[in-house]
Structure 1
Amino acid sequence: MSDLISVFHEGERKLHQKLNIEERQHQLGLRMIRGQLPDQHREFFAALESIHIGAADDDGHPWAIMRTGAAGFLTSPDDKTLVITSCALLGEPDNLNLTVGAKVSVVGIEFETQRRNRANATIEAVNDSTITMRVDQSYGNCPKYIQVRSKTPKSPSERQALTKAVALSAADIRQVTSADTLLIASRAAHLSDNPRDGVDINHRGGMPGFVTVLDDMTLQFPDYKGNNFYNTFGNIMTDNRIGLQFVDFETGTLLNIKGTAEVVEKLNDGKLPLMGRGLRIKILNIIRAEAALPIRYTLTAYSNRNPLPRP
């Protein structure tokens, strides 16, 4: 296999080699991971009212954030460009590096249909609330573990509140342990001009309780079977800094967590062993933003794809 045409970086390929799937994933990656947005992705993004973004702060630590707007706040004037016009939501770190040349990643999720598409990109221009990105890699993700949700009205009486901490509160723990969805941001060891070396944002889903809180500064969750790209795990193998975002879709509360991740081959919460590989997260900082999300969703149905931990 030629290193010159691989779409995966060293960390991802090491995992592929360990699992004896390198050649298969190499060929699959060449077919699935493009250097531009196909027309159906451009149309998909333009119809969304929210987007999940992975971005690094001034210290290089990745965070998972969210931006929202009316349909059309995301545009794609050509197949190499994605433009976001939206202001920061309450709770977004104020030291994010959203400047020209910075690496970012986006994942769009259409909860009603369980569709999701991703793009890794480099910021080309910033003007007030508008960020223009040049697409480095673009690919679709399967609908596994995306819970079906429908949009509902927002209560006009809701009040926003911001709390910062270094450990989970009782309210945080309730939100984490009842979550069926989270977003995780990670990064390559080196952020370079190579399309493989950037920031990543990824969706994780499961039945409520799939995230376990070990103590007020530690949580973990299993690695369910997916496309075997190992983007997140490959990043963590080379740089263990991560960002998590838990979204309460009914109250609009965003829980942003800055932490580090460890790959654990056999998860165990001290009570009941969890089969298979997973991630254990050490928490460094927490930003809790109540009623920050201007959109509300109600759960319609759980995914009909049963979560299967990796062996």
Structure 2
Amino acid sequence: MTFYQALEFHDGEKLMQKKLHVPGLDNPTVPMLSPQAANMLQRAPLLAFGTLDPEGRPWTTVWGGNTGFSKPLGNNMIGIRTSVAAKLDPVVEYLVGSDAKGEVVKEEGEGRLLSGLAIDLGTRKRVKLAGKMMAGMLGSEDSDGSMENIQQGVLQLVAHIDESLGNCPKYLNKRDIHPAATDPELVSDSATLDQKAMDLIHKVDLMFLSTNSGSHMDTNHRGGSPGFIRCLPQEGGSTQFVYPEYSGNRLYQSLGNMILEPKAGFCFPDFETGDCLFVTGTTEILFGRDAAEIMPRSNLAVRVTITAARYVASVLPFRGDTGEFSPYNPIVRYLATEQAASRADTSNQNQITAKLLEQTILTPTISRFRFSLSNAATFKAGQYVTIDASEHLDFGYSHMRDDDPRSLNDDFVRTFTVSSPPGLPPHPSKRLADDEFEITIRKVGVVTDLLFKHGLKKGAEFEVGVKGFGGEFVVEQTEEKPVVAFIAAGVGITPLMPCLTSLELGSLRLLWTLRAADLGLALDMIKNTQGLAQSLTLFVTGMDPASDDDKRSLKNVEEHGVQVEYRRMEKGDLERLMPEVRRWYICTGTGQRSAVLQWLSGQEVLYEDYNF
């Protein structure tokens, strides 16, 4: 078992969190290469990378094409061997030199600052890395090692990782990545961008950025609908662009770095052509009214003044085929100077809506909500629905809102697991109409409060926007792996609900931790799913000896034949099942999941993050 001291947020991050009224948070960044990061590093077909030039300016690039080009070496070291453009990639130049010719470059002392983002656009998974370069080399793919007149080189890099962090899949549009040859050609190197470069900025739906706190770097992405980044009108001198900061995990690591060091490096990749615009510049964080005056409907944005740039054709060693857009993507927010264009471009956008039909109260804080869709839409078992409640909750800009300060930076878009089974093959369920779906949720925030408020109003029609369905957390059995286990806590049971009609319950081992006050949720599932009780072990916590409701609910559960344990789940509960279980599914809070993953070391485990 690995133990480490939690990292503190630095002053820039603390200031951002204070400015945006974020309650106290623990820093989830770990001071090492975590197992999750090591695993993701090997599976990611892309790796964005950032470093500093001799003037201390950040630059960012992105490499890849195939999986497996980067891997952990042990002792928090990673190794990278990948095809790159042999010239004109600024990060390659600043790490190993522009005239390396296959020579090893070793860093003296602590090493050169760098940061990375291992990312898989096919699954929308990513993990951040930060550390220092130990050694690197740019060689030739030719057998003689000659660097003369070649366009594509091989970069080898060894780095020590001292920070890593997994991130949520928000604002990532799916792409199928495959390798491609590089043939780099410098198109422009002016800080005043030409039309071709500005067109690329307005085209991309994904950019990568790197920032610096002084002691560490950070590389991350910003994504959205094509055009979410806007160039300001040219008035001579360097080009400026603005992008909105959408609602995220509220750690504010990139923005916190900009508070301390108002500089950032960006790359804008063209997945179709392999072109890339590399820029570095000074940054200004725009809050509240300042953001809204430049980019209406934004409470937080960043304005960048470019100080150096390179537009390089055919510099990327990969291409990407466009897939599904993220259901989180907001409508493009145009600049105030573009308002006429924005009205013209957004007037024809079709918004799917969902009408709230029924609320079924299961516990004091958990209810099931049934909706009908305005347009045809399909979903699969294990998917989530993305609901947009901004029409009811977004009241525009406010300088202060003491009753709900977090709403100043909230887009009121939430994802909820669909808890009803789909009406599609291979295991259709016709319990609901074709245009209906259900979610089973706890009342925990402003959007769920809204649903609970309107759910019991009789005769009052209530609708919310639906951005789409997504996700792939499907619980399934196979001939090779017939016995599976599902470990849940609280409403973490919801991904299993739509899959129950397709499972052989006799080969399901369900271990569920539940508070006594929420036993009504378990009773509802047991009554609606014949045979589930015999597969269920319930770990009941928070029993109130004086509560008649708790005693009555517990008696009802036991009468159905459920095995009940009056304690928390322990390692031995899992070890007893290991001889027969071939696959484990987990949907719990992060703390319990960390413990369970350690208990299941060496087992096949699937889990999904719902912390976004």
Using structure 1 for the length normalisation, give the TM-score.
0.86
Give the structure with the larger strand fraction.
1
1:92 and 2:89 matched: yes
Q: CA deviation at 1:39?
A: 2.8
Q: Which amino acid aligns with 1:242?
A: A
Alpha-carbon distance in structure 2 between the residues aligned to 1:284 and 1:87: 28
Contact 2:49/2:60 (8 A) holds in 1: yes
Q: Which residue of structure 2 aligns with residue 194 of structure 1? A: none
Q: Name which of 189, 199, 207 aligns with 1:174.
A: 199
Q: Which residue of structure 2 aligns with residue 281 of structure 1? A: 304
Secondary structure of 2:316's aligned partner: coil
Alpha-carbon distance in structure 2 between the residues aligned to 1:132 and 1:153: 22
Q: CA deviation at 1:70?
A: 4.0
Q: Which amino acid aligns with 1:275?
A: S
Structure 1 residues 20-46: Cα deviation after superposition (integer angstroms, max 9, x where no partner): 4352x2x2x1xx211222333222212
Contact 1:223/1:277 (8 A) holds in 2: yes
Alpha-carbon distance in structure 1 between the residues aligned to 2:57 and 2:179: 35
Contact 1:7/1:33 (8 A) holds in 2: no
Give the structure with the larger helix fraction.
2
Q: Which residue of structure 1 aligns with residue 170 of structure 2? A: 144
Alignment of 1:10-159 (within 5 A): 10-21=11-22, 23=24, 25=25, 27=26, 29=27, 32-68=28-64, 70-78=66-74, 80-86=76-82, 88-89=84-85, 90-93=87-90, 96-97=94-95, 100=107, 101-128=111-138, 129-151=155-177, 154=180
Compared with structure 1, are the counterparts of its residues 87 and 61 closer, same or farther at alpha carbon in structure 2 (3 Å cutoff)?
A: farther
1:162 and 2:180 matched: no
Q: CA deviation at 1:119?
A: 0.8
Q: Which amino acid aligns with 1:202?
A: N
Alpha-carbon distance in structure 1 between the residues aligned to 2:179 and 2:69: 19
Contact 1:185/1:200 (8 A) holds in 2: yes
Q: Which has the higher contact order (CA 8 A, sep 6+)?
A: 1
Q: CA deviation at 1:152?
A: 5.4
Q: Which residue of structure 1 aligns with residue 229 of structure 2? A: 211
Q: Which residue of structure 1 aligns with residue 394 of structure 2? A: none
Q: Which amino acid aligns with 1:218?
A: Q
User: Gaps spanning 5+ residues in structure 1: where?
Assistant: 192-197
Alpha-carbon distance in structure 2 between the residues aligned to 1:81 and 1:136: 9
Contact 1:57/1:95 (8 A) holds in 2: no
Q: Which amino acid aligns with 1:10?
A: D
Contact 1:91/1:254 (8 A) holds in 2: no
**Percentage identity across paired residues of the two chains:** 25
Compared with structure 1, are the counterparts of its residues 79 and 42 closer, same or farther at alpha carbon in structure 2 (3 Å cutoff)?
A: farther
Secondary structure of 2:94's aligned partner: coil
Q: CA deviation at 1:255?
A: 0.6
Compared with structure 1, are the counterparts of its residues 96 and 269 closer, same or farther at alpha carbon in structure 2 (3 Å cutoff)?
A: farther
Contact 2:89/2:315 (8 A) holds in 1: no
Alpha-carbon distance in structure 2 between the residues aligned to 1:7 and 1:83: 28
Contact 1:35/1:80 (8 A) holds in 2: no
Compared with structure 1, are the counterparts of its residues 153 and 243 closer, same or farther at alpha carbon in structure 2 (3 Å cutoff)?
A: closer
Q: CA deviation at 1:227?
A: 0.8
Structure number with larger C-alpha Rg: 2
Q: Which amino acid aligns with 1:96?
A: Y
Contact 1:52/1:201 (8 A) holds in 2: yes
Q: Which amino acid aligns with 2:319?
A: R
1:299 and 2:299 matched: no
Structure 1 residues 142-164: Cα deviation after superposition (integer angstroms, max 9, x where no partner): 0000001113575x8x8542121
Q: Which residue of structure 1 aligns with residue 378 of structure 2? A: none
137-146 vs 37-46, greater mean Cα deviation: 37-46
Q: Which residue of structure 1 aligns with residue 269 of structure 2? A: 247
After superposition, the CA RMSD in angstroms is: 2.4
Q: Which amino acid aligns with 1:124?
A: M
Secondary structure of 1:109's aligned partner: strand
User: Gaps spanning 5+ residues in structure 2: where?
Assistant: 97-105, 139-154, 331-389, 391-407, 411-612
Contact 2:267/2:277 (8 A) holds in 1: yes
Using structure 2 for the length normalisation, give the TM-score.
0.45
